[in-house]
Amino acid sequence: WQIVLLRRGPDTLPDSAFLLALAGVLYGLASLTIVMLIYGGERAFALVFADLIITAAWVAIVLALFRASPRFRQTLCAVFGAGFLLQIFSVPFTLGPGIEELQGWAAMLRLIGLLAILFWSVAVYGHIVARAISRSPGVGVLFAVLYFVLNIELAAWLAPVS
């Protein structure tokens, strides 16, 4: 919780392969649930697998750029753990009919909720990266925005909206 609230960084987590695996599994299961709610089961596993790979690669590349690779397990664990919690918060906004089927306040509330979670996710991922590479929050947010753009493009490519 403390990382999602921007109070602590990945450096406060133990460098544990078990904790990383647990966070990865929880993140993967939460992702699978969200993806199945949005896209259905047809491409869900491919999207979640690609997301896990892109997330791990993004963390590894950013850390390597700043010579902070020894922090990989802690940083990826923080990203997976925060991602899991943020996805849990997004479930109420993904249940039910699509935004295009809603009208009025219901559509507006759902859209505002999803945008709030997206922007908070960028802030949290940026915070994690900034702490891991010992740089300013702005640098971390820049890398987080790049990550989210890449992930959204990947999802659009793997599961195009008809």
Would the pLDDT of 131 be above 90? yes
Please name which of 30, 83, 38, 34 lies closest in space to residue 56, comparing C-alpha atoms.
Answer: 83
30 pLDDT tier (thresholds 50, 70, 90): very high
Report the pLDDT averaged over residues 21-39. 91
pLDDT score at 105: 73
Helix axes 137-158, 104-133, angle to 10 degrees: 120
Would the pLDDT of 43 be above 90? no
Compute the Cα dihedral for 147, 58, 154, 80 and give only its sign: negative
Work out the number of other CB atoms within 10 angstroms of the CB of residue 97. 10
* 116-130: pLDDT as tens digits: 999 999 999 999 999
Alpha helices in the chain, H assignment, sequence order:
17-39, 44-65, 72-94, 104-133, 137-158
pLDDT score at 143: 96
